[in-house]
Amino acid sequence: MKVLAAVKRVVDYNVAIRVKADGSGVDTAGAKMSMNPFDEIAVEEAVRLKERGQADEVVAVSIGTSKAQDTLRTALAMGADRGVLVETDAELEPLAAAKALKAVCEREKPDLVLLGKQAIDDDSNQTGQMLAALLGWPQGVFASSVEILDGGLRVVREVDDGLETLDLTLPAVVTADLRLNEPRYASLPNIMKAKKKPIDVLGLGDVGVDPAPRLDVLRVEGPAVRPAGRMVSSVAELVEKLADEAKVI
């Protein structure tokens, strides 16, 4: 079984996000970049499938600038066998990203595609679902458990009122939730080995994707500054302020 794990290069989750002065987007100049945390979980799950003998090959794929090769090298150091980069300087919307991944799937012919349920930069939570629709494959999103069965897999997914169990046929698309696993730290020997693993570089023309955006961003603004808290001297005063000022009771 071949597993394809999609990864995205994003601003590290520990970095305080800054908005550009003109409000056109997020300022990433000089910011530390890393693999999207949900995609890290997807790579870990793919590698575990291989370690259990349930997968023969793990292919990591990313879409972005040449710097996204660093993200692919991280996936290779975690245990992926090789990488594929769809290189572009354009910021692709989820539909364009899904179309690019569809083209890679048609080239690679994986049995299972794993990716994070969402990226922490745009929080769209759309690419996995769109990819499954474009491919016509079954999908299991928000997965907290993945079990390989004869000819398929069982996915336990997190929903608003609890857990839902799905039995899917292969090939399929699965998006990883936080509780699926705990990603490993790549060891130094594996980091060195990852430098020798191959990465195939494709262009948007190779996958037939139009990067033109379908949405217009009017303005990006940071969250409003919260006012400082105030101390109250009694429960009665707290109730009064909640009723008269905050108007929440």
Of 50-54, 61-65, 121-125, 163-167, where does mean pLDDT reach its minimum? 121-125
What is the Cα–Cα distance from 91 to 96, expressed in whole angstroms? 9
What is the Cα–Cα distance from 227 to 184, expressed in whole angstroms? 40
Q: Quick one: pLDDT band at residue 170, thresholds 50, 70, 90?
A: very high
Residue 139 has pLDDT above 90, yes or no: yes
Give residue-wise pLDDT tens across range 86-108.
Answer: 999 988 999 999 999 999 999 99
Give residue-wise pLDDT tens across range 206-225.
Answer: 999 999 888 888 888 888 88
Mean pLDDT for the stretch of residues 169-193: 94
Spell out the domain ranges in the chain.
Answer: 2-244
Mean pLDDT for the stretch of residues 132-141: 96
Fold classification of 2-244 (topology level) = Rossmann fold (3.40.50)
The predicted pLDDT at position 105 comes to: 97
> For the range 164-169, what are the long-range contacts, defined as Cβ-Cβ under 8 Å and sequence gap of 24 or more?
166/138, 166/140, 168/138, 168/139, 168/140, 169/138
Distances 24 to 187, 219, 221 between C-alpha atoms, Å: 39, 6, 9
The predicted pLDDT at position 227 comes to: 81
Mean pLDDT for the stretch of residues 191-200: 94
Residue type (1 letter), 232 = V
Q: Quick one: pLDDT band at residue 161, thresholds 50, 70, 90?
A: confident
